[in-house]
Amino acid sequence: MNKKIAVIAGSINPLRQKYLFSWYRDFESVYGNIKLFIGSRTSQASFAKAFKLNSRKEKVIAEIMDAIRFRRLPEPIRNIRPLLNYNPEVIHLLTFQAFRYVEPYLEIKKIKLIVSFRGFDLNVYPHQSESNKELIQKIFKKADKIHFISDGLMRTGISLGADPQKSFVIRRSIWVEPNETIRKKAHGGPLVILSVGRLVWEKGYIYALEAIAILKERGFEFQYRIMGEGRDLPMLQYHLIRLGLEDSVVFLGEGSRNEVKEQLLNADIFFQASVTEALSNALIEASYYGLPIVSSRVGGIPEVVDHQKTGLLSPPCNPQLYANNLARLIDNRELRKEFGINARKRALEYFSMEREIEMWKNIYDEIKN
């Protein structure tokens, strides 16, 4: 019988991290003895339980029930009663933030721990303060297995102190339909360059806008669409006006899964000017829908985009190089088509959900022994 596994995330954004929901639901149907816990319940994830008590009412009720059962839990773990009631034998932290809640439980019971790292937690967080770095190193030490979503991120983790013997890579995936027909964009209308992602500094939108301005100065005709929301929107709107791009750039806001798909199906080129990136789900999806890609040679991006075969890569933060690569694809319809065909083949081969689920099943089977 499979050991009981608690998969825990401090929080999951249903739009921005929808792939985690998809991964869990599909894996649950295969593995069975697994339960998703998040910081607090949400109607958008009704199948997930809260791993901790969040309201005063919940805490009072729990204390009354403990008194009736003549049970007195140690102070450090009283707040995670929902997790205690599940009584897992393996805990898998999808995000490191929940570690502080489960650490006391790990000390009391012999529970195997898997921790996943996804990008910001290693590329940025440890460098913000010494205490942040010490926390990450503590998690490395406590974990039985350390998961990274790309080879590049694993190298970063090992440089920060992760044990190579505990470390492994399973790349995030998308649910793909090998027989799905990818609609070709209808002829007519402007050439469409598309970006999808949070409007934050990590995604390099300021450099993307500057590259777009260079293309406009060269006389290219196109529309640049940006789908996403984030704290940098006001700043980007300012630079859009500063660069005179009001007629060339459209901010679409955050889109549903179907809305993102519709934009991908109607785009000609996918553009992502990331400054830092562990492994981009947006690039994987763009590849699946047969789009040629222009992006940065940074982090795990080269694991998705095969330079000169599925797209064009250049060093980050260089608008001139981005513009040159975009211009090359704008001028060459056949190259766009060739890269798009190759990109879809690569997505189907390396980033299918079935492949990721099988790899996770092997990890869970290994750790339970």
Domains of the chain plus CATH, in order, are 5-173+352-367 (3.40.50.2000), 192-350 (3.40.50.2000)
Per DSSP, the three-state class of 32 is: coil
| Mean pLDDT (whole number) for 77-103 | 81
pLDDT band at 26 (very low <50, low <70, confident <90, very high): low
Distance CA 364, CA 266 (A): 40
Characterize 117-144 residue by residue with b for buried, 16 or more Cβ atoms within 10 angstroms of its Cβ, and e for exposed: bbbebbbebbeeeeeeeebbeebbeebe
Which pLDDT does position 7 carry in this prediction? Answer: 86
Q: Distance (Å, rounded) from C-alpha 97 to C-alpha 355?
A: 27
Q: What's the predicted TM-score (pTM) here?
A: 0.79
* Cα 207 to the center of its chain, rounded Å: 21
Taking all residues of the chain, what is their mean pLDDT, rounded to a whole number? Answer: 85
> Mean pLDDT throughout 126-152?
95
Q: Which pLDDT tens digit goes with each residue over 30-58?
A: 666 778 877 655 545 555 666 565 556 65
Average pLDDT over residues 79-93: 81
Q: Is the predicted pLDDT of residue 186 greater than 60, yes or no?
A: no
| Confidence grade of residue 60 (pLDDT, cut at 50, 70, 90) | low
Query: Which tokens in the block code for residue 322?
Result: 């981005």
Measured in whole angstroms, the distance separating CA 249 from the mean position of its chain's CA atoms is 25
Residue 96 forms beta bridges with which residues? none
CA 126 to each of CA 122, 132, 136, 239: distance values in angstroms, whole numbers, following the listed order: 6, 5, 7, 30
Helix axes 130-142 and 99-108, enclosed angle (nearest 10): 40
Where is 271: in which H helix or E strand? Answer: strand 269-272
Structure confidence by residue, pLDDT tens digits, 288-322: 999 999 999 998 999 999 999 999 999 999 999 99
The answer, yes or no, to whether residue 97 has pLDDT greater than 90, is no
User: How far apart, in whole angstroms, are the C-alpha atoms of residue 284 and residue 301?
Assistant: 10
pLDDT value for 1: 45
Segment 145-181, tens digit of pLDDT:
999 999 999 999 999 999 999 999 999 887 766 566 6
pLDDT of residue 333: 94
What tokens does 333 get? Answer: 């319809």
Q: What is the pLDDT of residues 273-293, one digit of tens each?
A: 999 998 888 999 999 999 999
Q: pLDDT over 90 for what percent of the chain?
A: 54
pLDDT reported for residue 30: 65
Give the CA angle between residues 349, 28, 254 to the nearest 5°: 70
pLDDT of residue 4: 86
Beta strands of 82-209 (E only): which ranges?
90-93, 112-117, 145-148, 167-169, 192-196
What is the C-alpha to C-alpha distance for residues 300 and 146, in angstroms, rounded to an integer? Answer: 17
Q: What's the CA gap between 48 and 7, in Å, rounded?
A: 10
* DSSP per residue, 104-131: HHHHHS--EEEEEE-SHHHHTGGGT-HH
Q: How many CB atoms lie within 10 A of CB 97?
A: 16
* pLDDT tens-place string over residues 223-264: 999 999 999 999 999 999 999 999 999 999 998 888 999 999
Q: What is the dihedral of CA 45, 50, 55, 58, to 10 degrees?
A: 120
Q: Which of 104, 99, 107, 102 is nearest to 75 (CA)?
A: 104
pLDDT greater than 90 at residue 367 = no
User: CA–CA separation, 194 vs 187, rounded Å?
Assistant: 17
Structural tokens at position 220 = 């290219």
With a cut of 60, say whether residue 109 has pLDDT above it: yes
pLDDT of res. 36: 80
For residue 15, is pLDDT > 50?
Answer: no
Q: Is the pLDDT of residue 100 over 90?
A: no
